[in-house]
Amino acid sequence: MNINRYKHAWSFVFLLVIPSGVATAARAQVRVGGWATSANGRPLPSENYWGPCPVNLKFAWGILGKEPATVVYTTSRSDGVHSSSPLTLNLPGANRTMDAHVEWAVGANQPQFANYSGWAQLDIKSPDPASQRIPFTIHCGANAGAGFDTAGGRGTVHTGRELKTTMEANGQPTNHVYTGPCPVTLKLGWEVAGTEPTPVIYWFERSDGKVFHTPLTLQLPTAGEPRTIYTEWRVGANTSEFSSYNGWIRLNIESPNPDSLENHFLLRCGK
């Protein structure tokens, strides 16, 4: 028997097999596709909570991969608690998201939790390492408005539906379309109404990717009587990019109940 001949043959087979295995591993890559936080079962879009404590925070991470895979991960929290052993999550198919989540009852109606910040973190161990930390801040008190020394947090509020959105361009009312020289100062407004007198806690984000996480407040003094929330944006230039530019600002109401609405506009700069 020619041993050397068979050695070369097996070497050739080995070289063929190894790249195939490498390619399979590459296809099994996973990643965190998104994450979210809820407080007592309600979405918490800016990771900020105002209200009575302890509050049950639920942190969720959407995990997806390029093919079916078993994901091994651990979790940890800013108070030092971490999963005692690795956890697993089965991804049933390519680009199908499955959620990993952690719940944490945190806080108390005491001064040390009036403005308390923490985080929860997901660490994927295999088939590919990845991490994602979700920060949060809680403002514990008897009412949803306690963090701002205001009474309230009762009833519900809403925007949209029968309520108006408005826009001004350089101080002149418009129908959400502006034609003229840029940059232009836009003033956008949202009517907000509630079922009872209550403070409204809100924040903004824009189509250019900017997010204003610092919360603001508006007091609704009367049930059913709308008040208008305003914000301004100096935007645009006399360039081709803004010759026909669609943009928006989203109002995000966080308390006493979540709600949101985009206020859209069209710029035709330089015309």
- On whether residue 194 sits in a domain, the answer given is yes
Looking at the fold, whether 119 and 222 belong to one and the same domain comes out as: no
- On whether residue 41 sits in a domain, the answer given is yes
End-to-end CA distance of the chain: 87
Residue 66's pLDDT band, with cuts at 50, 70 and 90, is: confident
- On whether residue 162 sits in a domain, the answer given is yes
Cα gap 98→32, rounded to integer Å: 10
Q: In the block, which residue shows the tokens 């979700």? A: 134
Cα gap 120→77, rounded to integer Å: 4
Looking at the fold, whether 163 and 137 belong to one and the same domain comes out as: no
CATH number of the CATH domain containing 127: 2.70.50.60
What would the pLDDT profile of 143-152 be if each residue is shown by its tens digit? 443 333 333 3
- On whether residue 118 sits in a domain, the answer given is yes
What would the pLDDT profile of 217-264 be if each residue is shown by its tens digit? 999 999 899 999 999 999 999 999 999 999 999 998 988 888 888 899
- Which of 83, 109, 142 finishes a domain? 142
Structural domain including 73 reads: 30-142
What does the pLDDT read at residue 147? Answer: 33
- Which of 142, 176, 194 finishes a domain? 142
User: Is residue 12 helix, strand or coil?
Assistant: helix
Residues 6+ apart with CB under 8 A from 59: 35, 36, 37, 101, 102, 103, 104, 120, 122, 134
Partner residues linked to 186 by β-bridges? 169, 233
Looking at the fold, whether 178 and 235 belong to one and the same domain comes out as: yes
Residue 127's pLDDT band, with cuts at 50, 70 and 90, is: very high
User: Is residue 208 helix, strand or coil?
Assistant: coil
Q: What is the per-residue burial (b if ≥16 Cβ within 10 Å, else e) of 196-224?
A: eebbbbbbbbbbeeeeeeebeebebeeee
- Choose among 229, 118, 122, 110: nearest CA to 166: 229
State the Rg of the chain over Cα.
26
Query: For the chain, how many structural domains are there in total?
Result: 2
What does the pLDDT read at residue 46? Answer: 67
- On whether residue 92 sits in a domain, the answer given is yes
Q: If you average pLDDT over residues 12-39, what whole number do you get?
A: 57
Share of the chain above pLDDT 90, in %: 49
- Which of 142, 171, 190 finishes a domain? 142
- On whether residue 18 sits in a domain, the answer given is no
- On whether residue 25 sits in a domain, the answer given is no
Regarding beta strands 48-51 and 130-140, do their DSSP bridges make them parallel or antiparallel, or are they unpaired? parallel
